Amino acid sequence: MYKKYFTSESVTEGHPDKICDQISDAVLDKILENDPKARVACETLVTTGLVLVTGEITCNCIVDIPSVAKNTVKDIGYTDADYGFDYNTCAVITSIDKQSPDIALGVNRAVDTADKDLLSNEEIGAGDQGMMFGYACNQTPEYMPVPIAVAHRITRKLAEVRKSGLLNHLRPDGKSQVTVEYAGNKPIRVDNVVVATQHAPDVAQKTIHDDIIRHVIRPVIDEKLIDKNTRFLVNQTGRFVIGGPQGDSGVTGRKIIVDTYGGYARHGGGAFSGKDPTKVDRSAAYAARHAAKNIVAAGLAEECEIQLAYVIGLARPVSVSIDTFGTGAVPDEKISSIVMDVFDFRPASIIRKFDLRRPIYKQVASYGHFGRNDLELPWEKLDMVEVLKTL
157-190 burial code (b ≥16 CB/10 A, e <16): bbbebbbeeebebbbbbbbbbbbbbbeeeebbbb
- What's the whole-model pTM score? 0.94
- Per-residue confidence (pLDDT) for residue 391, from 0 to 100: 80
* Contact between 155 and 198 (Cβ < 8 Å): no
CA dihedral 162, 168, 172, 175 (to 10 degrees): -70
User: What single-letter DSSP state applies at residue 249?
Assistant: -
- Per-residue confidence (pLDDT) for residue 118, from 0 to 100: 45
For residues 188 and 230, give the distance between their C-alpha atoms in angstroms, rounded to a whole number. 12
Looking only at the bridges linking them, the beta strands covering 3-11 and 170-183 are: antiparallel
For residues 108 and 101, give the distance between their C-alpha atoms in angstroms, rounded to a whole number. 10
Q: What's at 96, amino acid-wise?
A: I
pLDDT along the chain (391 residues), means of 10: 92 98 98 95 97 95 96 97 94 88 60 50 76 97 98 98 96 98 95 97 96 97 96 95 94 98 97 96 97 98 97 91 96 94 94 97 98 96 95 80
End-to-end distance of the chain based on CA atoms, in angstroms? 33
Greatest Cα-to-Cα distance within the chain, rounded to the nearest angstrom? 67
CA dihedral 133, 355, 73, 234 (to 10 degrees): -40
- Per-residue confidence (pLDDT) for residue 113, from 0 to 100: 58
Consecutive H or E run containing 251: strand 250-251
